[in-house]
């Protein structure tokens, strides 16, 4: 068995792609530690990304901000609303910072 860690934030290297292609060609070997799953067991699987997508689903809200704040946000370029969302979430996780603005 070969274990390789892949940084999912970076595209795979040609070597990693070759390893994946090679792994695709290898036969699956079932044993007592890894038995073949039944059709019923396979139906119970869900993609982790689907579960996380539900947790991350953003909601649309109306928010009133100053023209200066909006201008600065827009200057961040495409995707500035996502950046604002991350900034807001970060601040809301910092109780000291929240108290500072109350």
Residue 79 in contact with residue 72, Cβ under 8 Å? no
For position 95, what pLDDT does the model report?
92
pLDDT tens, residue order, the chain (102 aa): 777 787 888 898 999 899 889 989 999 899 998 899 999 988 888 776 666 777 777 888 898 999 999 999 999 999 999 899 999 999 999 999 999 988
For position 8, what pLDDT does the model report?
81
Residue 92 in contact with residue 98, Cβ under 8 Å? yes
What is the separation of C-alpha 101 from the centre of its chain, rounded to a whole number of angstroms?
30
For position 7, what pLDDT does the model report?
83
Helical (H) or strand (E) element with 73? helix 67-74
For position 53, what pLDDT does the model report?
72
Closest CA to 19 of 33, 39, 5, 9: 5
Domain positions in the chain are 14-101
């Amino acid at each position: 068995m070969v274990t390789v860690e892949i940084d999912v934030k970076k595209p795979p290297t040609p070597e990693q792609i070759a390893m994946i292609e090679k792994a695709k060609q290898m036969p699956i070997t079932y044993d007592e530690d890894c038995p073949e799953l039944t059709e019923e067991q396979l139906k119970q699987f869900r993609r982790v990304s689907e579960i996380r997508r539900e947790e991350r689903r953003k909601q649309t809200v109306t928010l009133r901000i100053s023209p200066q704040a909006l201008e600065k946000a827009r200057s961040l370029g495409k995707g500035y609303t996502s950046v604002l969302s991350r900034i807001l979430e970060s601040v809301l996780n910092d109780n000291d910072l929240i108290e500072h603005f109350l």
